Structure formats: C-alpha cells, structure tokens
Structure 1
Amino acid sequence: MVYAILEVNNSSDILPNITLGFQLYDSCYNEVRSLMGTSWILSGKENFVPNFNCHRNIMPSAIVGDMPSKASMPIARILGLYRYPQISYASAHPLLSDKTQFPSFLRTMSNANYEMFAIARLVQYFNWTWVGIINSDSDLGRSGTQLLTKEIESNGGCIAFQEVLPLYTSMESVYRIVDVLKKTKATVIIVYTTMENLISLMEVASFNNITDKVWVGTGSWSITSDFPRREILTTLNGSLGLSFQIGKIPGFKQFLYSIHPTKYPDDIYIKTFWELAFGCVWPANKSTPLKEGSVWCTGTERLDTIDTSVYDVNKFIYTYKIHNAVFAIAHALHQMNICVPGHGPFTNGSCADIHNYQPWQLLYYIKHVKFNNTAGEPIFFDENGDVPIYMDILNWQLFPNGSNQYVHVGSYDASSPKGKELKIELQNILWNQGQLQVPISVCSDTCPSGHRRATRQGEQICCYDCVPCSEGQILNPYDNSECIRCPEDKWPNSKKETCLPKPIQFLSFDEMLGTSLACISVLLCLLTFSVFCLFIAKHKTPIVKANNRELSYLLLISLMLCFLCSLVLIGRPNMITCMIRQVVFGVIFSVCLSVILAKTMTVILVFSATNPDSKIRRLVGLRIPIYIVPSCTVIQIVLCIVWLAIDPPFSEFNMEAEIGTIVIECNEGSNVLFACVLGYMGLLASISLLFAFLARKLPDTFNEAKFITFSMLVFASVWVTFIPAYLSTKGKHMVAVEIFAIISSSAGLLVCIFFPKCYIILLHPEMNSKQFIKGANNKRW
C-alpha cells in the first residue's frame, strides 16, 4: 500500500498538487481488533465514541481491508451505517456481495462463488463425471461446496463423496478421509480449504502412497510450494490450482529491494526482519556486547541476495489487490477533484468539495470508477461491488531433478459468453506421474454407440449399466438414458447413432437376381421363337399338320409373350406397371390355357366326328374349337377390365416387409377380383387337364393329349407350389418367386408339348411322314 500511495503522489496525472497519506492498523486476523481499528479510524480515538469525530486532522477517506471475510463482515456492517467506503483486497465470501447488508463494501478480490463456477466448468471440460470433494468445516467451505455440487450436477456430473475437514485437525477425521480416498473410484479430488488445514491430510495421504489422484485446489494452498515434506509435493504433482490473476506492478520489485532500516527508521518491523534475514544483530549502542556466534548488522547487506524462500518479491497475490484498491480510491478522488459545478453527479449537478466531502459522496465515485491499472488491466466495480472475474489456471509440476514450479495452463474469464469462459492449454499440462493423457474420473465407462444408460437402482445417475437399443431405435441425442424409435421411413445406422433413410428395395435389372431372371426369360423366349420358326419351316410336314398347325402357332406366340411378360415384373413398380403386369399376366396365360383346351377338344372332336351317329357332331360341328380361344380370352379380359375399373392395383411402400428397408411393391387392390383372375386360369387349367385325360385312349398317332396332360400336371404343380412359397417370402423375393413360377410353368408347356415334336422333326425325320403315321401301331397308354 505504501508503494501504491507513493506512485499516486508522484504522478502528475492523478490528484496533481494533492498528497495522500495513510494510517496502518494491524488487526492480527482477529475480529475484535478489526472492530477496534475501525472505531479508531471513525472516531479518532482508541476508545470508540459513536457518531463523534475527534480527528485533529483530516478524517481518512476510505478503509482498505480487512483480509479474512470473518473480519471484514463486522467492519462492513458498521461502515455501512455511515456509507463509509471500504475496499477489501482478500475477503471473498459471497455474502459480502449483498448490498442490502453491506452497502458500502467493495473488493478487489473476486467473489468466492466464481471459484466454484470455474471448478465446475473445469470438471466439465475434462469430462470428469465422478469427483470427490473435501472442504473445510466453515461457513464458506459449506456454502461453497453446496454451490459446487449444484453446478457439477447441473452439468451432468456426480459427487462420489463429500468429506469435511475440521478447522482444528482431528487425526481420526484425517484417517477416515484417507480411507475414503483409498476406496473411491474417483480420480479427481476437489479440495476447498486452507493450506494449514490440508497439511495433515496430505502427510497421511503421501504416507499411504496415494499418488493416482488429481487434486484440484482453490485458495492459497493451490499456488504454494511451502509444504514441509517433499513427499507431499510428490502426492500433489500434476494438481490443478485456481488463482485470481496476479498482475505485475512495475517497479515494485525494485521498491522491495530498496527497503532499508535507515530509509524507514520509525518502522520497528524492518530492523527485526533485517536481523532474521541476514542473521545479524543491530547494536542498540556501541557498548552492547555481541553474543557468541552473532555478527553485527552493518547496513551494507543487500536484500536482492536473499533466497526467495526467505524474501520472495515475485508473489504479489494480495499486494496486487491492495495496489488496485489504493488506485481505485485515488481515481475516485481525482474524479471528485475535477468535477465541474453544474455537471456534477449530485443534486442540481452539484459537485463534492474534495477538502470537505461526505463519505457517501466518495462512495459514489468509487462505485463508478473505471480505469486501467499500471499493468494495463481494466478495473471497475459492478453493482455488487465486485471487480471483473479473471482467474489463472496453474499446473503443479515436479521434475526428476527435484525442482518444481507452477505452470500457467489456462484461464477463466467470467465476463466471456457462456460456454467460452474457460481456455485451456492442454499441451502444457503434466499430470501425476508424468502422464500427458487426461486422467479419467468416471463411475461407469462411456457406453458404446447405440447403448443407453440404465441407472443402477439406488445409485447416482453417473453409475449405470449399458443397455443396447432395441431394433429400429437409436440413442436419444438429447438424453442418453433412453432410446427413441426411428420414423417409419428411416432406420438406424450401424452404430445406432442416427436415423438414415431406409434403402428402397425392388427387383431391378441392375442386380444379379433381376439380371439372371431377365436373361432366362429372354433365352426361353428365343428358344420358343426357334421352335416357332421350325414349325413354320416344317408347316407342311405331317407331324405339324396333324396337331392343328394354327393352334400350335398361337400357342407358341402366347408362350413367347408369357416369357416376356415376366420382364414387366422387374424394375421399380409404379401405378402403370402394377396394372399392366397383372393384366398382361392374366390375359396371356388365359390365351395359353384356352389354346391348350382348344387343342385337346380338337383331338376329341376329330375322333367323335368320325362316327356318323355321334351326338357331338350334330350338336357342335367340327369348328367349335376355333371359338374357344377368343371366348375364353374375352372372359378373362372382362374380369381384368372390371378389376381395373373398381379397384386397380397400385404401387405402395411396404415399411414392414423387411427390417431396415422400404419395399416398393404392387398392391393388388381388390383381392377378390385378383382371386377371380387366378381362379379363372385355374379353371381353364383344370378343364384342359380333364379333357386331356379323357383323350388318353386315342390312337398313338394323335396322342398329343398325353403331352398336354403332362404339361398341365407340371403347370398345376408349379402354381400349387407357388402359393406357399409366395406367402413365405418378403420384399423383392416375392416378385422373383412369381417370375420363377411364370417361367417354370411356361417352360413346362413348351417342353412337354413341343419338344417331342422337335425331336422327331430334327433327329428322326423318317418318322415325320404319312407312311409312318398310317403304318403306326395303335398303342394305348
């Protein structure tokens, strides 16, 4: 404080031609002495006289102090009655921000609550969800721990344990806490207490070789290396500490080195310090005998030669705060001094007289002061009398050679936007045992992708089991304790982290199955076309003429169309193709079956017509088969027209046919009419089979009925087998089964009816003659 006042008095920018003085009072960390000092300052007498000013000279403008919050509070209550300015440099209790109780209290030390906010943010940054807390048994320790717990839990973390360290150390309590430390799964331990309270705990912890913990500290212990044993430093190696920003005071180090008993002869403490620092004795007078082993102090000793453990001129923790407090008062007085009447802050623009002002007037100026200190940092007070909150994050590093130091690894700025208050230089942090990887402190490991957290009964939310999400579900991105079902048109990815559009499935020409079926259909169509060409080329031969040449041509053409109609079933279904595929399938197969029926009836009528007394010849004549094909086909066409008019087939997205896919398929519309179309084809096939069976006793020359019977049996077996196969398959494989049935049944007709004739035409042409046919034996089957 002395140095700060000297700076102000030597400055031409602040209070020119005005000299500041000061009075010092040592409260000895005692509330009673603090109140005595306050009464002395207010009244001017050691014996306090309320509301009386006995100062012979000017009354002090403001009070800087006290250090502990428990001493500042009673002072602030008294000074608040008079609105007398008080600026503390070390009192951090959150209650002091209450301007109702402490209207004239301000401080250059930050509110202790922000330490809790900073620690909670630090814990969240490193994803530590399972931490322990050790706090001192004090009002500040309890309230701070309560706030810290609330902040950590609001960020999704949990408190593994919370232990209280008595102010007056009890070894029983220390051993109990160490036992908890040995058993806990928490790696990170937050300690909110003073160094004096912590030493016993650290000694026992180091004795028990507890070196796998990360200690996060606040207050003085977290930024000091003044522990009595190196083992404690080893235990604390890698710890993180929060320190309110320690700015530099230009010239202050030189000022401290320049202190000398001759410079301040009235200061009784300097001589005592000098004797202790240099191990010498100041002679009271020349006749005073020198004790054995002692030397006289000569005054030529230099403070800059003393080890920093004795005289540290680099740690300006509270000195920096005192410096800011003095300059805040000086700047407030300066603003009061330069006030222009008529433009002042008080009634009618009046100003305060710097030589005769009221305490509340100076308090106004201090509350509104704003300046940059000698380190270039902005200083001002908010509505609670607190300065901007800025803290350094330090990492305690112990090196193999025995040296140690605190390394600046980050900062916390409460004025930054939410979520950006913390800045960490991760590459500079050295954790316990020299590790570079961030320690893990969790109750349960992170669940794999696609697993939700199931909290264990009776335990905190951070202790959980991992349960996989059900099929079709993903982990809720906003709540990892539940799984949510994907929309109907979406499906989870492999990790069950997000819902992706379901792949659309249909039998296409681009895949192996679709290509294979299409190739088979085309090849069989070409084979049928080859048979057709063979029959055209041999149309005058007896075997072609004997089996109703025109109906054979029509049957071959319809079989070619049957093979080709399967191509309509391949590709992406739409409204047009869905209607075409079923209509074409029904009509073409009806033509095939009606032609086969006509061929069978032709054989029967031919032999029936040879008998002049035949009733069939008289009733229907020989040309009745010619009308069978169009009439049977027309019936199927009418059924299809009615079907398309009433409830036609349409394409639809089937979300349930196959898991994880959308199957585009044709919905048949009216199942009744679809059944009628299929039933009609079944009727034609049954009638054809019946007539073929009736023609089984005809002569061998005209035994095509035998092959028709075989073909109808193949046809029937294919479609009877098709029904359960079709119902048991899903998705595009249903279409593949239908195509296979179409190809198989059509191929059965081609092979059974036409291959025997092709065999004779190509391999045994001698059998394809009238002589062979007429000379053939009449065989029965």
Structure 2
Amino acid sequence: MSIPRITALWASHLTAIEISFGAALADLSDKINFPSFLRTIISDKVQPQYLNMLMMNYNWTWIGILASDNDFGLYSSELMRKDIEAAGICVAYFMRISAQHTRDQTLSILQVIRKSSAKVVLFYCSMPELIPFFKVAAEENITGKIWIASGSWMTSPIFSYEEFWKILNGTVGLTLPFSTIPKFGKFLNNIQPSLYPKDIFMKSFWEVGFGCLWHKESENETETLVRATVNYCTELESLTTLESIGYKEDTSGYAILLYNAVYSLAHGINNMISCTSGQQCLNINGLDPWKILHYVKHVKVKNTAGQELAFDENGDLISYLEFVNWQALPNGETKYISFATLKEFPWRHIVISDSAVIWSGGFVKAPTSTCSISCPPYRKAPQKGQPVCCFDCILCSEDEFSNETDSTSCMNCPEDMWANEKHTGCLKRTLEFLSFEETLGDTLAAFSILGSLLPLGILAIFFKNSDTPVVKANNQNLSYILLVSLFFCYLCALMFIGRPVTITCVLRQFIFGISFVMCISCILGKTMMVVIAFNLTQPKSNRRMWLNSGVTNTLVLVCTAIQVIICAGWLAHSPPFKYQDNKSKMGTIIVECNKGSPIAYSCTMGYMGFLAALCFAIAYLARKLPGSFNEAKLITFSMLIFGAVWISFIPAYLSTTGKYMVAVEVFAILSSSSGLVACIFLPKVYIIILRPEMNRKDKRIFTTKDIDK
C-alpha cells in the first residue's frame, strides 16, 4: 500500500495526534500536559544554546535585544533573555518593536542602539515588525552594529527588499539545513491559481508577485471594456521569474518541515499496519489514535531528501541548525553562506569557518562586544548598578596574584613568596636580618668584640695596680663588678647579629637587661658612696657604717635582682620569639625577634632608665665637691651620654624596620657602653699609665680608707 493512500486511510483517526511544523513554543515539549504533541520544527529552547555558543566564541558578552511587542514575542524573548544571561552574557538594553510604531518611536530606539557600546544586536522579531524598523534604520544609515537574526526571519522575504540590502548585508542568523525535496522545485515552478481555484490566497499572491490582475470566470460588459486597458495575468507566469526577490526552492524552509511531518506520520502508520507475526500487532479495525501515536513517536526512517527522521523523548524531531551569513553581492546576487556548526551534541564546541563571512555594520572582521575590557592580572570589581559584565579592574594587593583573565578574586601567595611586579605569579622572598656576612653586621660585630676587650684590659690594669690610690678610690670591688658588667654589655650586642632563633631572642633581652642594670647599679653605688662620704664629717659618727663595702654590694644585688624578677616574669608570661614579617617590606621576609610582651619590654627599659636618671640626679648634686676627691663630675657626664644615647634611640628605633632597626639597637648598646668606659675609667687608666706621679697618696686622691683615718 502506498504512503499517500495510507495517510488518507487513517486521516479520520488522527484527531488526538498533532504533528506541528511551525509551533516552536518550548512549553509544548512538556509531555505531561501535551502527551500527543509532536513537531518537526526545532524548539525555542534550543535557539539560545546555539546563540550562546556563537556569542561566547566571538566574545560577544555585551549585546542588545529587540523583540516583537506581542504575546509570542514577550514570552519567548524573555525566556531567551534568561538563557543568555545564565550563560554569562549581559544585556545592554531590551526593547520592544511593533509594526504600529511611528517613525519617532523607531528613531528613539535607533538612538539607544547608536549610543550603546554594545556592537551586537539580537532580533527576536518577525517580518511585520522588521520592515518598518529597517526602513527607518536604512534612512538613518546605522553602522557599527552586528545584526543577529533569530526565529524565522533569517529566511523571510525581507531579504528580497533591495532597499534593505545595504543595511542587512552581513546579517548572521540560524536556519535549518537546506534539504532538496525530490521534484519539489518542479512542483513549485508549475503552480498556478487555475490549478487551485478554491485557494483564496493563491490569486492574491499571483497578482502581487507578477503585477497583473487575475481574470474572473464571468465578467460583465463594463469589465470587458476595461479589460483592454488592464494588464491581466496570462497564466503563463512562472515562479522562476521571482527567484531574484526570494521565491525559490532553497528559501522554502517550512516546506521540508511540513514534508517531514507528513512523512513521519505516514511511516508510523505503515509500521503499524505492516506488523508481522511474532510481534505485538494491533487490530486495525479497532484502532485508537493513541496507538497510532505510539508508532509515530518511534519512527526511525530516512526521507527522500536524505534526512534522518526520529523524535526524542519530548516529541521534538532530532535535528540541528546552521549558522548562516546573508550576503548581497555587488552583482546583485544574494546568497546564504554556512560558516559555523556545533559538534558533539549537546554543544561541546563550535566549529567556525568564517573566512568568507561578510560582517554587517562595516566591520572587516568580527569585533568584540564587551562592556569592560579584560582584567589580567587585575581582579574584577563590579560597577554599582551595572550588570556583571561591567566592572572596574583593580590591581591585586602586594601579596596576591591572578593568572586568569577576568578573575573575580586574587589568590594569596605562599608565606615565603610575594607577587611579581605584574601580579601574575609569585616569586621567592629574600630573607632580611642583620647578618655577620654583610658589611653592617660584620662591622658591628667587630666593634662588639674589640669593645669587650677594653673593659677586660682595664680590669687587668686595675688588678696589677690594685694597691694604688686611683684603684682603691670609691670602692674598687664596685669597679671590678662594673668592668665585668661592661664586658657582658659589649658581648650581648653579638646576640642581636645573625639569623634570629627563639633561644637567641630570649637570651639577647635577658643578658641585655641584666647587664646594663648591673652597670648602672654599680655606678649608682659609687655615686652614693661619694655623697655619703663627704657628708659624714664627724670622725666617730654612728653613720659611718654606711661606708661599708657590703652596703654598696647589697645595693647592686637588690637593683639587679629587681631586673631579674622583671625579666623572669616576662619570660614566663610572654617570652620573645622568632617572627617572620612578610608585610612590612614588599618582596622581603624580615626575620626578627618579636618582643612577646611590649609591656614587659617597656618595664625592662623603663626600670633601666629610672636607675640611670636617679644616678644622674645624685651625681649632678655632688658635682661641686672638691675635684681631687670626687668622681661625681665624671659620673654625671657618663650618665648624660648614656641618657642621650638611649633617648635618641627611641625615635630612631621606631622609624626603622628590619635589620636597620636591630642595627640601631646594637649601635645604642655599643655607644652607651663605650660612653661609660670612656668617662669613668679612661681618666684613671691615663693616670695609672701615663701620669704615675699623680697616683700617690700625697696627691690626696680620695679613698674610703681616708675617712677612717
């Protein structure tokens, strides 16, 4: 039985089956609400996927959308807009156009298009809205825009209007692949109204297309007289003469859709009635429409045009679209160029062959259409009130980098690395500390070692000349303790040089604090001894007990013990520790000792300053005592230098970082130690070595033993 006869036979049973060739509404794919609906046209939900791939390929992330101002346009364009925005493409403007728009309304829309930075305009419209719009657009000579056609208008007769060729040339759109239906071209060219006398549209089309008047079957006398002056159709006209304005076989897109609908139905019925034994065959006489639907849904056949016909689970014909470029050539010829296809369903990548593409808007090559330029190696900061495609580029911070284009955030470099100059990666940081290998550290270490030899040398001289008046003056035991303390003061500077570790961080503060407090305590004891001695003028006074050397030794011990307690509390509560500072200096890790407790450090320094200030005050009050018996002037001067060094140390220490901050502290230690040695002991060494004649008892150098006599 032939396919046409099968179709006619079962036409009365198909009231519950609908195979559409033009209904693209995405909701019709819902098989719960529309279980018997099938279609050969591609669903609206597929178009955005194609368009998204195309726009992302050309970096068109900033586009404008024009949609028909009708129910279908409002609904479908909103769905398309949501799909486009979900793919990361931003909509610069979304406007409606209507066939009833005035010229002023169209001009206002064109003004928005012209001013927008979006170079791509997507049309979701039909021919009735496009014709009045492009009439005004052609008059205004709109350039610099890429037109993208969606829906059905890519193959509509609007491209046959020569007045639009200039502005539409290069339009990009989607079409179904062209398939030649056998004998369809011959059938199309042999159509005449006389063959279809009951078709009310055929005569109107013929008269408009050929500019003639179709004659009536009966005419009155007046019409007969007019006939001689009117151009009547001769019935010899052929559609082949209308190919130049778009009426040709390859533009009849709906023909293949309708053909596939009928072909699928016929083969579904044929499969049903051709059921052989051994299969679950149906009784044709008792056939229900849903039984036919079952066979049609499972049709798998190749039509006469070579297309594979099969429906998916949603009742949509499995098919694909082509990206085409409409071109109007200088010789008056027009054509569609297929320039891209999607491969590996569902849309893994797009294959472009755009060497022959002509771009609308006067572009020589495909432009980019973005709201903001890319941001390598910056990060994107969204602009307030703008879509996500509009952003400002902000440089990553010094410890962050970004190696991706249009990154929304920067990544942190590892702690031992820092961002390079362009913030595209990380580099190894250099370690900074006061090293023995560098000139500054080596010089300070040399001064520390040489300086420590100075009090040891003076101590040796004092031991050798221990019986002389100069050595005996003002309690020689205090002088010995003071020299030993100064020795440790010089050597503690070495603890500040070299790469810090936790143990050196603890020892440096402990040795520094105790050594200097012991020095100042000894000087305080010597100063107080001078004052007490000169105020005890009565030979047999009971207050002479205060001149005992044990008193001064106890004073030194108590003052030093207080500092030991402060340091012990410091170490017990929050001891110093090694710390790596990668924030203060770009590209550098400062390896330093963290004080642990700033309060404890301040107490240590404050107590040392208190003793120095007390010593200075007492020595200053005793400065006017007879010079030949008095060390007060030298002590006053030494405390003045000591205070000046450590007071100037505070701003210098706070204004520097890294190794230079440590160098300032080392310099303060060496300077203050040298000041004490120079002011208190060098004059005595001078007398002992260079002026021995002055180191005699008759010169009345003051000693504590002279008080007893």
TM-score, normalising length from structure 2? 0.71
1:87 aligns with 2:19: yes
Q: How does 1:458-477 map to 2 (within 5 A)?
A: 461=387, 466=392
Q: Secondary structure at the match of 1:21?
A: helix
Decide which of 9, 13, 20 is 2:3's aligned counterpart: 20
- Find the counterpart in structure 2 of residue 370 from structure 1: 300
Decide which of 441, 454, 459 is 1:531's aligned counterpart: 454
1:596 aligns with 2:519: no
1:565 aligns with 2:474: no
TM-score, normalising length from structure 1? 0.66
1:416 aligns with 2:346: yes
For residues 534 and 544 of structure 1, the distance between their equivalents in structure 2, rounded to whole angstroms, comes to 17
For residues 776 and 224 of structure 1, the distance between their equivalents in structure 2, rounded to whole angstroms, comes to 132
For residues 240 and 583 of structure 2, the distance between their equivalents in structure 1, rounded to whole angstroms, comes to 87
Which ranges of structure 2 fall in alignment gaps of 5 or more residues? 200-204, 211-227, 229-233, 703-709
Deviation per CA, 1:179-219: give whole Å up to 9, x if none: 55445554322222334542342232122110111111124
AA aligned to 1:666 is N
- Structure 1 residue 607: Cα displacement: 8.7
1:619 aligns with 2:541: no
Instruction: Flag the 1:193–1:640 CA change in 2: closer, same or farther, 3 A.
Output: closer
For residues 683 and 657 of structure 1, the distance between their equivalents in structure 2, rounded to whole angstroms, comes to 35
For residues 586 and 140 of structure 1, the distance between their equivalents in structure 2, rounded to whole angstroms, comes to 87
Q: Are the equivalent residues in 1 in contact too, given 2:575–2:596 (CA < 8 A)? A: yes
- Find the counterpart in structure 2 of residue 509 from structure 1: 434
For residues 563 and 397 of structure 1, the distance between their equivalents in structure 2, rounded to whole angstroms, comes to 91
1:639 aligns with 2:561: no
AA aligned to 2:382 is R
- Find the counterpart in structure 2 of residue 768 from structure 1: 690
- Structure 1 residue 517: Cα displacement: 5.7
Q: Secondary structure at the match of 2:38?
A: strand
- Structure 1 residue 303: Cα displacement: 12
Instruction: Flag the 1:205–1:686 CA change in 2: closer, same or farther, 3 A.
Output: closer
- Find the counterpart in structure 1 of residue 174 from structure 2: 242
- Structure 1 residue 651: Cα displacement: 3.6
Q: Are the equivalent residues in 2 in contact too, given 1:61–1:359 (CA < 8 A)? A: no
Query: Across the two proteins, how many residue pairs are aligned to each other?
Result: 660
Instruction: Flag the 1:473–1:506 CA change in 2: closer, same or farther, 3 A.
Output: closer
AA aligned to 2:516 is F
- Find the counterpart in structure 2 of residue 715 from structure 1: 642
Q: How does 1:319-358 map to 2 (within 5 A)?
A: 319-337=255-273, 339-341=275-277, 343-344=279-280, 351-352=281-282, 357-358=287-288
Q: Are the equivalent residues in 2 in contact too, given 1:474–1:492 (CA < 8 A)? A: yes
Q: Secondary structure at the match of 1:407?
A: strand
- Find the counterpart in structure 2 of residue 105 from structure 1: 37
For residues 565 and 425 of structure 1, the distance between their equivalents in structure 2, rounded to whole angstroms, comes to 78
1:147 aligns with 2:60: no
Q: Secondary structure at the match of 1:390?
A: coil
Q: Are the equivalent residues in 2 in contact too, given 1:566–1:742 (CA < 8 A)? A: yes
Which ranges of structure 1 fall in alignment gaps of 5 or more residues? 1-17, 23-56, 64-78, 278-290, 292-296, 345-350
For residues 756 and 327 of structure 1, the distance between their equivalents in structure 2, rounded to whole angstroms, comes to 124
Q: Are the equivalent residues in 1 in contact too, given 2:22–2:254 (CA < 8 A)? A: yes
For residues 303 and 698 of structure 2, the distance between their equivalents in structure 1, rounded to whole angstroms, comes to 129
For residues 626 and 755 of structure 1, the distance between their equivalents in structure 2, rounded to whole angstroms, comes to 23
Q: Secondary structure at the match of 2:317?
A: coil
1:434 aligns with 2:359: no
- Structure 1 residue 711: Cα displacement: 1.5
Q: Are the equivalent residues in 2 in contact too, given 1:450–1:475 (CA < 8 A)? A: no
Instruction: Flag the 1:99–1:629 CA change in 2: closer, same or farther, 3 A.
Output: closer
Decide which of 80, 90, 97 is 1:157's aligned counterpart: 90
Give the stretch that moved more between structures: 583-592 or 659-668: 659-668
Instruction: Flag the 1:318–1:570 CA change in 2: closer, same or farther, 3 A.
Output: farther
Instruction: Flag the 1:91–1:490 CA change in 2: closer, same or farther, 3 A.
Output: farther
For residues 188 and 94 of structure 2, the distance between their equivalents in structure 1, rounded to whole angstroms, comes to 49
Q: Secondary structure at the match of 1:227?
A: helix
For residues 140 and 544 of structure 1, the distance between their equivalents in structure 2, rounded to whole angstroms, comes to 120
Q: Are the equivalent residues in 2 in contact too, given 1:202–1:232 (CA < 8 A)? A: yes
Q: Are the equivalent residues in 1 in contact too, given 2:652–2:664 (CA < 8 A)? A: yes
Q: Are the equivalent residues in 2 in contact too, given 1:241–1:394 (CA < 8 A)? A: yes
Give the stretch that moved more between structures: 362-371 or 650-659: 650-659
Q: Percent identity?
A: 31
Q: Secondary structure at the match of 1:436?
A: coil
Instruction: Flag the 1:567–1:473 CA change in 2: closer, same or farther, 3 A.
Output: closer
Instruction: Flag the 1:685–1:136 CA change in 2: closer, same or farther, 3 A.
Output: closer
Q: Secondary structure at the match of 2:321?
A: strand
- Structure 1 residue 768: Cα displacement: 1.0
AA aligned to 2:93 is A
For residues 561 and 401 of structure 1, the distance between their equivalents in structure 2, rounded to whole angstroms, comes to 102
Q: How does 1:139-538 map to 2 (within 5 A)?
A: 139-154=71-86, 155=88, 157-166=90-99, 174-175=106-107, 177-195=109-127, 197-223=129-155, 227-228=159-160, 232-243=164-175, 245-246=176-177, 248=179, 256=185, 312=248, 314=250, 317-337=253-273, 339-341=275-277, 343-344=279-280, 351-352=281-282, 357-371=287-301, 378-388=308-318, 390-397=320-327, 405-411=335-341, 416=346, 420=348, 430-431=358-359, 432-440=361-369, 442=371, 449=378, 452-456=381-385, 461=387, 466=392, 508-509=433-434, 518-532=441-455, 535=458
Instruction: Flag the 1:413–1:540 CA change in 2: closer, same or farther, 3 A.
Output: closer
Q: Secondary structure at the match of 1:216?
A: strand
Q: Are the equivalent residues in 1 in contact too, given 2:448–2:493 (CA < 8 A)? A: no
- Structure 1 residue 162: Cα displacement: 0.9
- Structure 1 residue 109: Cα displacement: 0.8
- Structure 1 residue 362: Cα displacement: 2.2
1:747 aligns with 2:674: yes
- Structure 1 residue 707: Cα displacement: 3.1
For residues 420 and 334 of structure 2, the distance between their equivalents in structure 1, rounded to whole angstroms, comes to 49
